[in-house]
Structure 1
Amino acid sequence: MKVKDLEPRRRADVTVKVVSLGEKRNVIGKDGSSHQVMDVLVGDETGSILMSVWDSNIQKVSQGKVFAIEDGFVSVHRGSMRLSLGRTGKMVETQGTFEVNTQNNVSNRVVEEEPRRRYGRY
């Protein structure tokens, strides 16, 4: 799969290169536990996307590294597509020589968010 083909709320297996790192920030999870998260711009020759990297995976990423994202997930956050690992995804460092197409940043596309279902209610 290529970055240009990623779709909201779908699983994704894609190989990406890290373009730039955002700031680490602390967040509190739904269970009350503390976590660190960092938004990272990643991509391939077809496009780029913001990826949310959590906790211990933050120390693995640096500019120029290439990762195979296995069983990742494309979520929608504030109308913007984001690549994440979700619960079952893996981020495996690999080799690759390609230039990232940052002109086609799919996170810049506005995506309609679906209302969350709450036990049969909308």
Structure 2
Amino acid sequence: MKVNELKPRAGASVTVKVVSVGEPKQVMNKDGSTHNVADVLVGDETGSILFSLWDDNISKVATGDVLDITNGYVSIVRGSMRLTLGRDGKMEKSTKTIENVNTENNLSNKTVEDTRYGGYRRSGGNFRKRF
């Protein structure tokens, strides 16, 4: 699979090159636990996407690394697609090479509608129609 073939809310197995690693941010889960998350721009010759890495996985990647992501997942965060490992995903350094990454076709820069609730979104425990 190539980056330009990734679809929202779908599984993803893809080989990508790390373009940049963002600064980790500390976030709090609903249960009160804190975690670190970093946005990592990854891609191949067909496109790029932000890859959300959590906690210990952040230190496992560096700019220029080529990664094989198996059983990953494309989520929607604030209206944009993000690649994530999810529960079942795996990330390994690859033996493949990627010379050029197409950062002009950044899938995370495109607005994606979240249709999980049939055109409605959840807000404060209630459902309301999107505008």
Once the two structures are TM-superposed, the CA of residue 96 in structure 1 deviates from its matched residue by: 2.3
Q: TM-score, normalization: structure 2?
A: 0.86
Q: Deviations over 1:66-95 (max 9, x none)?
A: 111111000001110000001111111112
Please, which runs of 5 or more residues in structure 1 have no aligned partner? none
Pair 1:69-2:80 in alignment: no
**1:32 CA displacement:** 1.5
**TM-score (normalised: structure 1):** 0.92
Q: What are structure 2's unaligned runs of at least 5 residues?
A: 116-120
CA distance in 2, matches of 1:112, 1:16: 25
Q: Residues of 1 paired with 2:67 and 2:32: CA distance?
A: 30
Which amino acid is the alignment partner of residue 93 of structure 2? E
> Following superposition of structure 1 onto structure 2, how do residues 21-100 of structure 1 map, counting pairs within 5 Å?
21-98=21-98, 99-100=100-101
For the pair 1:14 / 2:11, whether they are aligned, the reply is: no
41-50 or 23-32: bigger deviation: 23-32
Shift of 1:31: 2.0
Residue aligning to 1:101: 102
Deviation of the 1:33 alpha carbon:
1.1
Residue in 2 aligned with 1:113? Answer: 114
Once superposed, which parts of structure 1, at least 4 consecutive aligned residues long, lie more than 2 Å away? none
In the alignment of these two chains, the number of paired residues is 121
Measure the CA separation in 2 of the matches of 1:30 and 1:23: 22
- Greater radius of gyration (CA): 2
Whole-angstrom distance in 2 between the partners of 1:113 and 1:42: 22
Q: Does 86-95 or 37-46 show the bigger shift?
A: 86-95
Cα displacement (A) at 1:113: 1.8
Query: In 2, distance between residues paired with 1:63 and 1:95?
Result: 16
Q: CA deviation at 1:30?
A: 2.2
